[in-house]
């Protein structure tokens, strides 16, 4: 039978791996669409739709990175316990 701390470690490790995979896919998406984004978004004047695009595009990235940092720190803290 698997001990509880090891099972909890497996769950946290699975969550962290999933979050890192999502982060890598997001970064890949940003890299392959960067030229189009510069052409159609960043070179145009500011508007409400441009602001909404930037919020929708980059707020999720900020949240994803912060979740990744929290989970990576959680793994370090749980190893001390």
Pairwise CA distance, residues 67 & 72, whole Å: 9
Chain centroid to CA 49: 23
Pairwise CA distance, residues 80 & 11, whole Å: 18
pLDDT tens sequence for the chain (81 residues):
556 677 777 887 888 888 889 889 999 999 999 999 999 999 999 999 999 999 999 998 898 888 878 877 765 555 544
Pairwise CA distance, residues 55 & 17, whole Å: 26
Structure tokens that stand for 2 in this block: 């698997």
Structure tokens that stand for 40 in this block: 């159609």
Rg, C-alpha atoms of the chain? 18
């Amino acid at each position: 039978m698997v001990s509880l701390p090891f099972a909890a470690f497996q769950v946290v490790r699975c969550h962290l791996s999933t979050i890192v995979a999502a982060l890598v896919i997001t970064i890949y998406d940003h890299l392959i669409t960067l030229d189009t984004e510069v052409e159609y978004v960043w070179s145009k004047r500011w508007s409400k739709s441009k602001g909404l695009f930037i919020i929708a595009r980059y707020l999720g990235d900020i949240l994803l990175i912060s979740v990744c940092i929290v989970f990576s720190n959680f793994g370090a803290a749980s190893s001390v316990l």
